[in-house]
């Protein structure tokens, strides 16, 4: 794929180098499954750059994405053992966030989602990671558990070199407006339309 040509030069007072390395807010939205898959593909590149990767999954099911989790945990061990690539942390809301001592009650998803976001905010303010994958994070915003305006504010104020990738359907318009890159994955044809169910290695 050829390198993109810039169509307009922005009047933002930045040098080309500064502009080139400006960290991004990326939103993968749309109705299809490719969203998270593409986000993890992007995180692979960051890992190869030696960047610190922090994945935060706002999902309940343990079944989905176990493949990506296994692969990224393996890459994290590669980093620990050989120094290649970057460190990887993978946190899941569904099992209770790893940094919370006492998991909340089974039913209190809203509190768990707020605690997830609070920790991500602390990490962004401390510049803990270079890549944050906030998987399915659009939903707690959609359901009113996490305040979109606060998210947009924290993202806009973040310092250093921190790329943030957010996935999920129905991204809020304020979030789309704040993002640098918004990708929408659309289905042209899917085996489920022909009656095929999801399968291991492909759907999870």
Tell which positions 62-101 bind its own copies, by CB under 8 A.
64, 66-71, 74-75, 77-78, 84-85
160 binds its own copies (CB under 8 A): no
- What CA–CA distance (Å, rounded) separates 197 from 204? 12
Using the minimum distance from each CB to its own copies, give the nearer residue, 82 or 105: 82
Cβ atoms of 123 and 132 within 8 Å: the answer is: yes
188 binds its own copies (CB under 8 A): yes
Using the minimum distance from each CB to its own copies, give the nearer residue, 73 or 114: 73
154 binds its own copies (CB under 8 A): no
Using the minimum distance from each CB to its own copies, give the nearer residue, 4 or 144: 4
Q: How far is the CB of 152 from its own copies (least distance, A)?
A: 15
46 binds its own copies (CB under 8 A): yes
166 binds its own copies (CB under 8 A): no
- What CA–CA distance (Å, rounded) separates 107 from 87? 32
Question: Quick one: which segment of 95-103, 107-115, 120-128, 175-183 binds its own copies (CB under 8 A)?
Answer: 175-183
> How big is the chain by its Cα radius of gyration, in Å?
18
Cβ atoms of 38 and 31 within 8 Å: the answer is: no
* Short-list 188, 68, 178, 199, CA closest to 133: 68
């Amino acid at each position: 794929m050829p390198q993109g040509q810039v169509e307009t030069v922005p009047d933002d007072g930045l040098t080309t180098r500064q502009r080139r390395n400006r960290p991004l807010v990326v939103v993968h939205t749309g109705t299809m499954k490719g969203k998270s898959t593409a986000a993890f593909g992007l995180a692979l590149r960051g890992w190869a750059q030696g960047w610190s990767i922090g994945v935060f999954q706002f999902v309940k099911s343990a079944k989905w994405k176990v493949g990506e989790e296994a692969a990224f945990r393996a890459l994290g061990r590669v980093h620990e053992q050989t120094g290649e690539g970057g460190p990887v942390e993978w946190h899941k809301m569904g099992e209770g966030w790893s940094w919370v001592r006492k998991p909340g009650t089974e039913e209190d998803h809203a509190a768990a989602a707020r605690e997830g976001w609070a920790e991500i905010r602390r990490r962004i303010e401390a510049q803990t990671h270079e890549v944050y994958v906030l998987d399915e994070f659009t939903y707690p915003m959609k359901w009113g558990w996490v305040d979109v305006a606060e998210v947009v504010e924290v993202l806009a104020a973040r310092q250093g070199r921190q790329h943030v990738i957010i996935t999920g359907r129905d991204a809020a318009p304020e979030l789309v407006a704040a993002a640098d890159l918004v990708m929408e994955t659309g289905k042209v044809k899917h085996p489920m339309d022909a009656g095929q169910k999801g399968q291991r290695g492909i759907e999870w």
